[in-house]
Structure formats: C-alpha cells, structure tokens
Amino acid sequence: MSTTGEVGGKMQRSKGLSGNDRISMFHRVLERRMNANLKEETKSLLHRLFFLAKTSPELLNKRDLGGYYENLFQKLQRSHQGEGITGLLLLYSSHIIHVLESSSDVLYSVIGDLKDMQQQEERALLLEPKILLISHNIPCRLFQQWEYNVLNITAKRLDDTLQGEPIEKVISECLTLLIKLGIHMQKTYKEFPNKPISYVLDNVPELIVPQELIQRLLKSNELLTSHQFLDIYNAPLSVIIDSELVWPKPERLLPESRK
C-alpha cells in the first residue's frame, strides 16, 4: 500500500471540510486551527527598524514631521490591515532617531518612503537617512504605541571614551540606550498610564542618545542609506550551480562521427 494509503488508513473517520468521510492530515490540522482559533499559530512575525537622519533646515516646526508620519502610518495600516505600528520618534534640533516595530512589509514601505523623500530634494523633510539596524522575528514589542517627541532637554555629550572607538562600538552604544529607554517607558506607563511622553523622557536624560553620536553615525560609511539598502534587498539572488565551480568547464561529448 502507498504511503498516502497508510496514513489515510490510520486516521479516524470523521466529517471533513469538504464533506467527505476521510480527509488528509493537512485538512485535519487546518480544521483544528480554524475551530480552536489559535492566534499564536497564525500571528504575523514582528520586526524592528532603527534609522537616523538629518532634519531639513526648511523644517521650522519639528511637529510637522510627527504629523507626516502619523499620516503615512494611517495609509500603511489601510493597506496592511491588522499589522500594528509601534515605536518612538525623537526629534532633536537638527537630527532624528526613529524606532519602528511592525511587519516586514510595513517597515520596507517606510524605508521606501525615505528613498522617495530624497528625490524631492529641497522639499525633503529628512536628509541623508541611514539604516542603523533591522531586527527580525523579535519576540515582543518594546513600545505599546507609536509616539513622537520634540526634545527640550540637553542630552548628555558623547563620552570621550567613544571618540576613538570603532564604529561597531558606537552603534552598540546607541542601540543599548534606545533599548533601555524603551524598557523605562514600558515600566513608567504601567505605573503612570496617563503621563505624557515628555514627562517620561525628561526624567531620564542619561538614556537619550547624544546628538553628537547621531552625527558620527551619519558620517559612517558602514551604515547603508535607504537607497543602498533597497538596492541590496531588491537585487535578484545570484545562484551558483555546482557545474560552475568545476574546472575545466564541462563540455558536451559529441559522437566520433561528428568530431
């Protein structure tokens, strides 16, 4: 008896999705998921994006950038229903740092918007954006909603010990501060759910990424621009087959009469 027949013979007889007495194992599992509504088995994967940029000198009111992203996220959620967007946008005097959590489609759309924005030249709200990190398949959200804040505090200056350090350590320092800030915000909102974000940030200036650190990261060639990132992401895969690794190059054998 074939393998299919063996599996079918061992299954109990029950009413299937199609009305037949006997169904496949695939339909059995599918029916169980539908009936049990096991959300943990069908939830979408979560990813986190960190990026930096300069703000345009033409951007006189920093809150306009917050409004821009609010509108963008509303559009993205209409086209990607059920994929929530959470994160934090920090607006400095001349720079920004942005953390976003959502599906990969939403995050790549945001990066695509950054690329399109650079083509607007003098109308661009952000200049020279660079991708700091994308974390894939994160277990849970660090932020419970998306918020932005215009910083009205003086962030600590870049530690002298980081001035001569390799860029990898500077990146690590930046990410560490952002993660610690997210954890602090979670704890504060649990204890004081109605506190504004400015209250939360004003109490932890030591967790605010120094603007000097952002300036150094934007000058680094190790970080990709939005354009470079999408070029790599959209590039076709180059598959090398085994025959291409053999030397000398294999040739088709011809019959003696045709040589």
pLDDT in tens, the chain (259 residues): 444 444 344 444 444 444 455 667 666 666 766 665 544 444 458 999 999 999 999 998 999 999 999 999 999 999 888 789 999 999 999 999 999 999 999 999 999 999 999 988 778 999 999 999 999 999 999 999 999 999 976 555 555 556 677 889 999 999 999 999 999 999 999 999 888 998 889 889 999 999 889 999 999 999 999 999 999 888 876 666 665 666 655 666 666 655 5
Of 117, 110, 98, 116, nearest to 56 by C-alpha is 117
Q: How many domains does the chain have?
A: 2
Residues 37, 16 share a domain: yes
- Whichever domain contains 228, its CATH number is 3.30.70.100
Number of other CB atoms surrounding residue 114 within 10 Å: 22
- Exposure on the CB side of residue 221, measured as CA atoms within 13 A: 0
Among 41, 65, 40, which Cα is nearest to 53's? 65
Among the listed residues 225, 73, 63, 56, the one whose alpha carbon sits nearest the alpha carbon of residue 125: 56
Query: Hey, which bits of 71-163 come out as E strands?
Result: 86-91, 95-102, 126-135, 146-150
C-alpha 73: how far from its chain's center? 14
In a domain, 94, yes or no: yes
Kindly give the pairing relationship between strand 126-135 and strand 47-55.
Answer: antiparallel
Query: Same domain for 123 and 202?
Result: yes
- Spatial separation of the C-alpha atoms in residues 163 and 185, rounded to whole Å: 29
pLDDT of residue 225: 95
Residue 123 contacts residue 64 (beta carbons within 8 Å): no
Residue 242 maps to a domain? no
Residue 23 lies in a domain: yes
Q: Are residues 69 and 168 in the same domain?
A: yes
pLDDT at 115: 94
Q: Please tell me whether residues 74 and 174 are part of one structural domain.
A: yes
Does some domain include residue 59?
yes
Segments forming the whole domain that contains residue 139:
47-234
Q: What is the pLDDT of residue 29?
A: 66
Distance (Å, whole) CA 41 – CA 33: 8
Cα–Cα separations (whole angstroms), residue 207 to 45, 127, 145, 201, 251: 28, 25, 19, 8, 64
* Residue 107 falls inside a structural domain: yes
